[in-house]
Amino acid sequence: MADALPNPNFNSSAHDNIPKVSAYYHTRAAHHGVVTSDWLAQAQAAVGHDPADDITANSSSPDSRKPFSVIDESNNWRRQPDLAEAVAAIRALAAVIRSSEATTMMELEIELKRASDSLKSWDTTSISLTAGCDLFMRFVTRTSALEYEDFNSAKSRLLERAEKFGEISYKARKTIAMLSQDFIFDGCTILVHGFSRLVLEVLKLAAQNKKLFRVFCTEGRPDQTRLPLSNELAKLDVPVKLLIDSAVAYSMDEADMIFVGADGVVESGGIINMMGTYQIALVAHSMNKPVYVAAESYKFARLYPLDQKDLTPAFCPIDFGVPIPSKVEVETSARDYTPPQYLTLLFTDLGVLTPSVVSDELIQLYL
Amino acid sequence: MDARRTSRTVIDPKIRQVGFVTPGAPPDRTQSGPPESSSPPVADMSPAGNSLSPVMIPPPRHASDNLLLHASRAVPPISPIRRPGDSIAVGSYNQSDVFLGTSPTTTISPSSKIVDGEFSEELMSPGWAARGGNSGKVAASSFPSGGVDLMPVKSNIPSSSLTTVSVVNLPPGVSEKAGKESIEVQNDRAGSSKPLKEKTSKAERRALQESQRAAKAAAREGKAAGGASAAANPGNAKPANAAKPPPQKKDSASIAASEKKGGERPQEKDRKKEVPPPRMQFDDKSRVEKAKKRAVVKQTEARNRVELFRHLPQYEHGTQLPYLETKFFQLDPMHPAVYKVGLRYLAGDISGGNARCIAMLQAFQQAIGDYSTPPEKALIRDLTAKISSYVSFLIQCRPLSISMGNAIRFLKSRIAKLPINLLESEAKATLQSDIDRFINEKIILAVKVIVRHAVSKIRDGDVLLTYGSPSAVEMILLYAHELGKQFRVVVVDSRPKLEGQLLLRRLVERGIRCTYAHINAISYIMHEVSRVFLGASSILSNGTVYSRVGTASVAMVAHAFRVPVLVCCEAYKFHERVQLDSICSNELGDPDVISKVPGRKDVNYLVDWANNENLQLLNLTYDATPSDYVSMIITDYGMVPPTSVPVIVREYRREQLWI
């Protein structure tokens, strides 16, 4: 599948020297702008020949249509710096509906299914991508549209829903930033772990609202998340203090609240996030500090990890600066699972939720 | 349920009552002009009744009601009072008919169904199944305050016309007096009555019945008119079922008898008791006595019962089985299949929630197959009553589990939803296929889905612990083994049932590596375990897992060791009730079993325990595991946290009832 086009995505390990690196890591890297400019350039080169409009892409290459064009389309969208991966996927799926040449509802649904499957298999480790695709399928197909007599009106109805969903997802970040303002009070100290654009948005809005607060920013090894985040915050004139990851407990008593993003929110209400979130949550819990999670609702996934090892692992390269003897094992997991009892609230575009509501929402969406 | 809510819903019907009450007033009107006459009853009412009423009755509505009064009165003025005998009886009957006609639902069939449903609920109320039909129960429980009170107000119409009818034969002064009396009684009652909104159709139905009956009686009395009947009449206006006049009792034994049984009896009962408790409390002596009289199964109560658990039934074990067996061929009302299942419950041959539920449903299926509607009865009503009687029999054999309660509730709702015009054979076939579908979809398929979900949580190298012999967990383990997963099982068991040995045997036969331990060793064995799989008898809506006694300890120890606890439970066993402890609802087993140690004659310290007043043995069957100790619930709707149980109950209860 991947060799028909010079697809940079899933097989990017072929280009890299590090063998065990998940696409998940690349996505992160792309977002953080740390490693990746070259990767992104590659990606752009790969999809560059595609016109922006997907329809023409489809008509121009009818032989190898669906799976590729979906991914390309999603990459197209991803080139926008601010667009989350899942939203890009959602937009791409909407484009699939638009450009579909199917003549029956069933055909369209199958096509959509295939597209979303190929998107998902493109990066199996990304929770938000999988969840976003699943949710899109639910949201779009679970409608009375399927009962329309006329296929075209049904299709336009689907398209309408698809675009609405894309819009909701796109606006989610703003909604969440607004919702979380009530929780940031003057003079507070916020400890932030990982680089979440959502958290950044929240902090940005708070700064714009003339709130006075201080940010502790963890180093976030191995992704070096401190760099983009501290840069952005410094631009906003927010006082920032950098901590090494092992200094979290040391400075926890100064912090008033913890703010983290999430790669995925699972059914138990817990979150899957960058490595280190769990231990920060544990420390915060033992010191009675609230842990707030900012996550869009398209990150809600039908997963239920029982413990840390109960996840699809995502690996990342770790640079220790010195060569490591081959006999020594290195833990390369890129993320961990934080159980719901250590989280205080989730800020989502559905509102401010307690962890247990996640499952309620998921049940209503999926069942 | 609670008085507050009923009084709030009262408001609306109350306005209508004004309309209903006053037609009885025409006698009063003879003394004064029409406009004044309309006001006195209303004015009378408000002080006597709820202080709410003057505030609550909205003026426009009130006025229109008054208009309605006038309009309706425009017809009757010509009627009663000064006309003699028979013609009046007819007239008054029509009049009441007119009034009933104004009310929304007076069709006979649906409300008659309700009446019967309530009758059946009444029948089964002593036990637990009644709570299975929870919604029905609510109706029944609220009934005493609502329906009964509402009824007399309306039944007044015929009864008061009755008074006037008989009164005609008396000297004018007396008639006047009697009339006034009846009015006063009416007004009093109108004030105190608290009709429920939902009850109106039922009450109206009853009012219609009442009016018909009264009309019959009136016709008869009109002929027989004597001092005796006149004397009886003031009493006639007494509340509730007293609306049925005494003379009628003697006269109309023939036709009205059947009708009376259906309509009147539950009323009498309901009036006596207040809101019935959700289940039979066995420490209530008088009620236990009553239940005993009705009981088919004669059981002797155990001695030396533990004080805290006196509200639960406990019988001498093994006393009733031979007795029942001798009665096998005499027991007419019970279907043999149901009887057989009951006996097997009693003997303990069938245990396990699913097995018991399936056995019960299949017995019902047979009973429905052999059922034929008796003449002059409707299938819907009669069959519901039949099922209720079966259920109360089964309860006497062994208290129902929540899953069985849900299944019964399902079956009853299916019966109630049958279209009326369906042929009997069709109806029976529908019900039987419904039961089949319930068994297939809610039990058998559900377990399969659970197995699929649960297997995804078993990894190579896991050590799985299970307690007792839950059927779902057994299937999970076997399926995981089939898939070639490498794991080890720890089967934890407990006295006195030692069900785990059966499971152990079946697992070892398939070549699964097992460890067998008693629950005493749980804290020792737990540190090597990576997952705990438990079954459940029921899961309540606060996430509490109601399961075989000992489950809570296992879950607690696992929690302390940070081992995930997975509870496997089909969604049909979920219940919207909330329970905080294992005391208020539980089942007591035979205490003798725990006093004896099988195979050890030398351990005989408790031989005569029943004769020692100071010694009480407790053999509990279930316990409640708080949701904190449960990591995940695996159900046919997927894997959910215990906090999501109410969501599933809310989202799917409806669907389950409709299927």
**pLDDT tens digits for range B54-83:** 334 344 444 344 444 444 444 444 444 444
Which residue carries 């035979």 as its tokens?
B590
Which pLDDT score is estimated for B633? 94
> Strands B622-625 and B545-548, how do they pair?
antiparallel
Q: What is the pTM of this model?
A: 0.66
pLDDT computed for residue B591 by the predictor: 79
Q: Quick count: other Cβ atoms within 10 Å of Cβ B382?
A: 18
- Spell out which residues of chain B touch residue A268, defining contact as CB-CB under 8 Å: 631-632, 641
Contact B641 A269 (CB under 8 A): yes
In which residue are the tokens 């138990």 written? A268
Q: Is B608 an 8 Å CB contact of chain A?
A: no
Contact B648 A269 (CB under 8 A): no
Of B459, B632, B644, Cβ closest to residue A363: B644
Question: What strand order describes the sheet that includes A335-338?
Answer: A264-265, A271-274, A335-338
User: Is pLDDT larger for residue A13 or for residue B574?
Assistant: B574
pLDDT in tens, chain A (367 residues): 333 333 434 443 334 444 456 666 555 555 554 433 444 444 444 443 333 333 333 333 333 344 446 666 666 666 666 667 777 888 788 888 777 777 777 787 888 888 888 888 877 778 888 888 888 887 776 665 556 667 777 777 778 877 887 788 778 888 899 999 999 999 999 999 988 888 888 999 999 999 999 999 988 777 766 677 888 888 888 999 988 889 999 999 999 999 999 989 999 999 999 888 999 999 999 999 999 999 988 888 888 999 888 888 888 878 778 888 888 888 888 889 999 999 999 999 888 999 999 888 888 777 6
Separation CA B126–CA B279 (nearest Å): 6
Instruction: Give the minimum alpha-carbon distance from B571 to chain A in angstroms, rounded to a whole number.
Output: 13
Q: What are phi and psi of A258, to 5 degrees?
A: -110, 135
**What is the reported pLDDT for A70?**
65
Check whether B22 has a pLDDT greater than 50: no
CA distance to A222, A315, A317, B571, per residue, from A321 (Å): 11, 18, 12, 54
pLDDT tens profile B408-466: 988 888 888 888 888 888 888 888 998 999 899 889 999 999 999 999 999 999 999 99
**Which element (helix H / strand E) includes B555?**
helix B551-560
Is residue B109 within 8 A of residue B420, CB to CB? The reply is: yes
**Residues of chain A with C-beta less than 8 angstroms from the C-beta of B648:** 363
> Per mean pLDDT, which range of A72-81, B223-232, B371-380 is the poorest?
B223-232
Please determine, for residue B625, whether its predicted confidence score (pLDDT) is greater than 90. Answer: yes
DSSP tag of B588: B
Q: What is the pLDDT of residue B569?
A: 92
User: Angle B86-B88-B90 (CA atoms, 0-180°, nearest 5)?
Assistant: 75
- According to DSSP H, which parts of chain A are helical? 12-15, 23-32, 37-48, 54-60, 66-78, 85-99, 105-122, 127-141, 151-179, 197-208, 226-235, 248-251, 277-286, 355-366
Contact A363/B647, CB-based, under 8 Å? Answer: yes
Average pLDDT of the residues in B375-402: 85
Q: Sorting pLDDT into bands at 50, 70 and 90, what band is B565?
A: very high
Which residues of chain B does A367 touch, with a Cβ-Cβ cutoff of 8 Å? 637-638, 651-652
Contact B638 A367 (CB under 8 A): yes
- The separation between the first and the last C-alpha atoms of chain A, rounded to the nearest angstrom, is 32
Per residue in B146-187, pLDDT tens?
A: 334 444 444 444 444 444 444 444 444 444 444 444 444 444
> What domains are defined for chain B?
51-279 (no CATH), 459-586+621-658 (3.40.50.10470)
- Chain A: give the shortest CA distance to residue B360, in Å: 30
- Between A20 and B400, residue with greater pLDDT: B400
Instruction: Work out the angle between the directed axes of helices B3-21 and B59-74 (0-180°, nearest 10).
Output: 40
């009669």: which residue's tokens?
A: B382
Question: CA B603 to CA A54: how far, in whole Å?
Answer: 84
CA–CA min distance B326, chain A (Å): 51
Q: What is the ipTM of this complex?
A: 0.76
Task: Say how far apart CA B75 and CA B85 lie, in whole Å.
Answer: 19
The residue that leads in pLDDT, B392 or B138, is B392
| Over residues B131-138, mean pLDDT | 39
Here the tokens at position A148 are 């329309």
Amino acid at A216: F
Average pLDDT, chain B: 67
Alpha-carbon gap, residue A333 to B103, rounded angstroms: 72
Helix/strand/coil percentages in chain B, nearest 5: 60, 10, 30
pLDDT digit string (tens) for B237-296?
A: 444 444 444 444 444 444 444 444 444 444 444 444 444 445 666 667 677 677 666 665
Average pLDDT over residues B495-520: 91
Q: Which of B388, B424, B439 is nearest to B409 (CA)?
A: B388
In A, minimum Cα distance to B628 occurs at A341
How many other CB atoms sit within 10 Å of the CB of residue A111? 19
Residue B471, pLDDT above cutoff 60:
yes
CB atoms within 10 A of CB B129: 26
Query: In the prediction, which pLDDT does B141 show?
Result: 39
Question: Do B631 and A306 make contact, defined as CB atoms within 8 angstroms?
Answer: yes
pLDDT of residue B556: 95
B640:A269 CB<8 A = no
Across the interface, whether the CB atoms of A304 and B637 are under 8 A apart is answered no
Pairing of strands B513-518, B487-493: parallel
Between B583 and B146, the more confident residue is B583
pLDDT beyond 70 at B474: yes
Tokens 């019959």, residue located? B216
**Contact by Cβ (8 Å): B442, B570:** yes
Alpha carbon distances (Å) from B489 to B465, B466, B473, B535, B569: 6, 7, 11, 15, 20
